[in-house]
């Protein structure tokens, strides 16, 4: 098997949070892949995705054997199995368990935050008037992040020691906190800043700025501010 035999189908880099996760699972861990891009909300998206059956969403990954798998968590687990040297999960059992808990909860939850603040890497807002449900999601995030650091003893920028799948899954959350100027404490802000400065994230966002025209679906009526710098 050669790494270049992977074929990863992704959507708009400025908007598709799950595509960002799929990209980071390769790029941030030094694994090569071919990339096929599609545009959301256009007829070409369905035509492109049809080539990755049975996938119904992005990211979709064609493995070297020709089998297609979808869903970023499935892709994360498959890459971790095939490339144990890449370090997708922490080597320490306790840290690995914590990272898996974080990843699973992020994968399944935080629907209020996702709905009110869809990822948009092209703009940042001064205030998005977050409702109580979004504030509750933010409080849960801060609780989880602090718990992870306490349990694993992590002292660097990432939640469970070295950068892991857990951090990949929270990268779009960091983008939302930055993009919508969401209220979180200093520790969470530092974690967001680490994501904004990560080379793979920077590369992805820069590509997304010129990755086709704006998608009207993501427009919001709130006053804008410059994208936060780190």
Which CATH superfamily includes the segment(s) 3-86?
Glutaredoxin (3.40.30.10)
Q: What is the spatial distance between Cα 188 and Cα 136, in angstroms, rounded to a whole number? A: 15
- Omega of the bond leading into 54 within 30 degrees of 0 (cis): yes
Size of the chain in residues: 230
CATH of the domain spanning 93-216? 1.20.1050
pLDDT digits (tens, 9 = 90+) for 73-121: 999 999 999 999 999 999 999 999 999 999 999 999 999 999 999 999 9
Residue spans in the chain of domains classed CATH 1.20.1050: 93-216
pLDDT digits (tens, 9 = 90+) for 26-71: 999 999 999 999 999 888 899 999 999 999 999 999 999 999 999 9
pLDDT(2) > 60: no
- pLDDT mean across residues, the chain: 95
The residues near 192 (Cβ < 8 Å, ≥ 6 apart) are 174, 177, 178, 184
Q: What is the spatial distance between Cα 141 and Cα 135, in angstroms, rounded to a whole number? A: 10
Residue spans in the chain of domains classed CATH 3.40.30.10: 3-86
Residue 90 CA, distance from chain mean position: 18
pTM across the whole model: 0.96
């Amino acid at each position: 098997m050669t790494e270049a035999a992977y074929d990863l189908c992704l959507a708009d880099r400025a908007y598709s949070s799950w595509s960002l996760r799929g990209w980071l699972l390769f790029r941030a861990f030094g694994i090569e892949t071919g990339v096929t891009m599609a545009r959301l909300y256009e007829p070409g998206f369905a035509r492109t995705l049809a080539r990755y059956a049975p996938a119904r969403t992005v990211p979709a990954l064609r493995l070297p054997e020709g089998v297609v798998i979808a869903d970023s968590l499935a892709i994360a687990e498959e890459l971790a199995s095939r490339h144990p040297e890449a370090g997708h999960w922490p080597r320490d059992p306790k840290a690995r368990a914590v990272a898996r808990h974080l990843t699973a909860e992020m994968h399944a939850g935080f629907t209020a935050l996702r709905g009110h603040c869809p990822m948009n890497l092209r703009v940042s807002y001064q205030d998005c008037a977050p409702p109580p449900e979004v504030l509750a999601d933010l409080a849960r995030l801060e609780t989880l992040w602090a718990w992870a650091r306490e349990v694993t003893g992590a002292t660097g920028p990432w939640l469970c020691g070295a950068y892991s799948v857990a951090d990949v899954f929270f990268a779009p959350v960091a983008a939302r906190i930055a993009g919508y100027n969401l209220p979180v404490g200093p520790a969470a802000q530092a974690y967001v800043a680490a994501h904004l400065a990560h080379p793979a994230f920077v590369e992805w966002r820069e590509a997304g700025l010129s990755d086709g025209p704006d998608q009207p679906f993501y427009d919001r009526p709130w006053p804008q501010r410059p994208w936060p710098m780190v």
